[in-house]
Structure 1
């Protein structure tokens, strides 16, 4: 099992200059290596007897460029550019591994037939992190002991250990990240033991979750969680700062200072959203043994007129966090096809078409009247239980669990950011 803990570090001014220099040198090397690959692809993309001598000049056919050839060229790079000798060798290798991973995602589709975008050249300042692939190892470049992080060729620096490292996990790698408000170290930890999910015959509490914009989520028991919209709350302030930035001379000290201020606003928006997602996920996981959610096409929904609001609530990010939290707590998370969950009646199965403005489900066949989101959540739960082979009543849930008021979740309807 792999987890990542992020801590803030306090480097001195000299160390900040060294790490900034590392990031810039790694960025240049990344761009050079990417240029090598693109040039090789351009020269060898078709057979030599089929190339056009007009639009494609035929020159010397270069050897194949991959991670291993570029890694072997690191020795020559250090001879031509001595500054690269000051960078930990394994960090340079990981930099090339990142490029190789992005390159393969672009050229070769995954199991579902999807491919990533073409790797892009990084502009100045876009390289934000470098990696030490080994920690607390005799041959490692990073050591963490008693709240002090010692990096090879950089030196020791204090770490703000706001929470202790979990017992039984081994430190695998350290990623030094530059953010808008300072420097951080992301520690990857590994434990050989993997929590096994709860057996299905021992599942006692289940819930279906329907996500939305008015209410962030509605459960099959009628519980609701108000939507947190951090970007909508901050967008007016953000727009003013971006307007001021447009009047600054690009590259000036005032421009860079205001640019960092805008980055801090975006950082706060992301942190508020992340904290809300984790709190909600933990509340669900602590109360239920099986959680049913929709397998939504977020990219497709983001192209609709409601795209900004959909990206603000970040359903996909929440479901991803919910799955991660559920794995650690041995809870089942089942994704189901969302098609028809709002239209179908959870009581009798009849089709009841609705528009977005219709917030109540009124079945013409069985006369059931409930909230449309609760009706969808019950359908989601029914499909999930059918998928795993469990039975559920028409009202949703196993046993005699009763709906709880929203106050039981800790929300009183007032949004705070």
Structure 2
């Protein structure tokens, strides 16, 4: 199992200047290497025995460009530009490896036939991290000993160890990240032991969750978590800070201060949302052995007029966190087909067409009347139980109890998000 812990460290002004210069040099090298790849692609796109429908550059056909050819050219880069000699060698290699992964995601489709976007040239300040691929080994560029991080050619810096490193894990990689409020080191560690997944026969409690915009999620047990709407509540302050930044002359010190304030607001919102997601994920994993959720097309939903609210809820980030928390505990998370979960009646299976504004499920066949999201949660639970081969048990309540009970809201410890 691989974990990543993020700690803040305190560099000196000289060390900050060195790391910022490293980031700028690595950004330039990224852009040059990406330009090499795109130039080779444009010059070899049209076959030699036919013409292209669009204009293509002609001339000498360059040699194929790959990670290995660009890595071999690092020696020539250091000869022509001596400032690159001051950067740790493996850090430059990892920078090219990152570009190679982004290139392969664009050029080579995955198992489902999807491809990533084209790698982009990075503007000044857009590259915010660099990597030391080895930690605490004999030839490593990064060493973390007794709360002190020592980086090759940068120096030693104190680290705020707000939580201890887990026992049994071996440090593998150190990523230095520049954020709006300071510098952080993200330590990736590995333990060869893998948590044992709970056997299907040992599942005692199961739940289906239906995520939404009126309520963040509703469980098949009739419990709901209210949606915090972090971005909606902070829109006024964000708009005011962005208005101040837009009135400054771009590139001046006052513009940079205003831009930094906007970045701090966005960083605070991101952290509040992430903390909330972890609270909900741990609450679910504490209560249930099996958690079923819909396999939503979030990118497609985010193209609708509800895009701002969907991005604010961040369902995709929450489901990833839920999966990670469940795996570390050895619990089961099952994705189910979302089609028809809001329309089908959990009791008789009849289709009850309803618009998005109708929040109550009223079945004309069996006369069941419950909350729309609760009905969806029960359907999701039943589909999850069918997927793993367990008997259906609905929500464990009688129809009369379900009709009499209202959806109850769960109070979680709300993160501090006052801006």
TM-score calculated relative to the size of structure 2:
0.95
Q: Deviations over 1:169-218 (max 9, x none)?
A: 00000000000000000000100011121000010000010011111010
Q: Deviations over 1:71-120 (max 9, x none)?
A: 00000000000000000000000000000000011111000000011111
Cα distance between partner residues in 1 of 2:395 and 2:319: 24
- Alpha-carbon distance, 1:49 to partner: 2.7
Paired position in structure 1 for 2:302: 302
CA RMSD of aligned residues (A): 2.1
- Alpha-carbon distance, 1:58 to partner: 2.8
Q: Structure 1's 350 and 396: CA in aligned 2 closer, same or farther, altered over 3 A?
A: farther
The secondary structure found in structure 1 opposite 2:79 is helix
The secondary structure found in structure 1 opposite 2:6 is strand
**After superposition, where does 1:213-228 map in structure 2 within 5 Å?**
213-228=213-228
Whether the aligned pair in 2 keeps the contact of 1:215 and 1:227 (CA below 8 Å) is yes
Paired position in structure 2 for 1:149: 149
Whether the aligned pair in 2 keeps the contact of 1:228 and 1:415 (CA below 8 Å) is no
Q: Structure 1's 90 and 414: CA in aligned 2 closer, same or farther, altered over 3 A?
A: closer
Whether the aligned pair in 1 keeps the contact of 2:213 and 2:313 (CA below 8 Å) is yes
1:124 aligns with 2:113: no
Paired position in structure 1 for 2:411: 410
Paired position in structure 2 for 1:366: 366
Paired position in structure 2 for 1:14: 14
Q: Structure 1's 336 and 124: CA in aligned 2 closer, same or farther, altered over 3 A?
A: same
Cα distance between partner residues in 1 of 2:324 and 2:91: 28
Cα distance between partner residues in 2 of 1:90 and 1:216: 44
Paired position in structure 2 for 1:109: 109
Paired position in structure 2 for 1:277: 277
- Alpha-carbon distance, 1:311 to partner: 0.7
Q: Structure 1's 344 and 405: CA in aligned 2 closer, same or farther, altered over 3 A?
A: closer
Q: Structure 1's 348 and 129: CA in aligned 2 closer, same or farther, altered over 3 A?
A: same
- Alpha-carbon distance, 1:358 to partner: 1.2
Cα distance between partner residues in 2 of 1:396 and 1:218: 16
Cα distance between partner residues in 1 of 2:94 and 2:263: 27
Paired position in structure 1 for 2:84: 84
Paired position in structure 1 for 2:42: 42
Paired position in structure 2 for 1:63: 63
Q: Deviations over 1:309-363 (max 9, x none)?
A: 0110011110110000000011100000111000000011011111122111111
**After superposition, where does 1:253-402 map in structure 2 within 5 Å?**
253-396=253-396
The secondary structure found in structure 1 opposite 2:49 is helix
The secondary structure found in structure 2 opposite 1:349 is coil
Whether the aligned pair in 2 keeps the contact of 1:148 and 1:158 (CA below 8 Å) is yes
Cα distance between partner residues in 1 of 2:355 and 2:54: 58
The secondary structure found in structure 1 opposite 2:300 is helix
The secondary structure found in structure 2 opposite 1:50 is coil
Paired position in structure 2 for 1:244: 244
Cα distance between partner residues in 1 of 2:140 and 2:414: 50
Cα distance between partner residues in 2 of 1:222 and 1:177: 42
Q: Structure 1's 396 and 413: CA in aligned 2 closer, same or farther, altered over 3 A?
A: farther
Extract unaligned runs of 5+ from structure 1: none
- Alpha-carbon distance, 1:414 to partner: 11
- Alpha-carbon distance, 1:411 to partner: 3.8
Whether the aligned pair in 1 keeps the contact of 2:272 and 2:416 (CA below 8 Å) is no
Extract unaligned runs of 5+ from structure 2: none
- Alpha-carbon distance, 1:18 to partner: 0.1
Cα distance between partner residues in 2 of 1:23 and 1:122: 11
Cα distance between partner residues in 2 of 1:182 and 1:105: 31
Whether the aligned pair in 1 keeps the contact of 2:374 and 2:407 (CA below 8 Å) is no
Q: Structure 1's 405 and 349: CA in aligned 2 closer, same or farther, altered over 3 A?
A: closer
Cα distance between partner residues in 1 of 2:415 and 2:135: 44
Cα distance between partner residues in 1 of 2:353 and 2:53: 61
The secondary structure found in structure 2 opposite 1:258 is helix
TM-score calculated relative to the size of structure 1:
0.96
- Alpha-carbon distance, 1:53 to partner: 12
Paired position in structure 1 for 2:199: 199
Whether the aligned pair in 2 keeps the contact of 1:295 and 1:336 (CA below 8 Å) is yes
Cα distance between partner residues in 2 of 1:53 and 1:287: 61
Whether the aligned pair in 1 keeps the contact of 2:46 and 2:56 (CA below 8 Å) is no
Of residues 350-359 and 262-271 in structure 1, the stretch that sits farther from structure 2 once superposed is 350-359
Whether the aligned pair in 2 keeps the contact of 1:226 and 1:415 (CA below 8 Å) is no
Whether the aligned pair in 2 keeps the contact of 1:131 and 1:175 (CA below 8 Å) is yes
- Alpha-carbon distance, 1:59 to partner: 1.4
1:28 aligns with 2:4: no
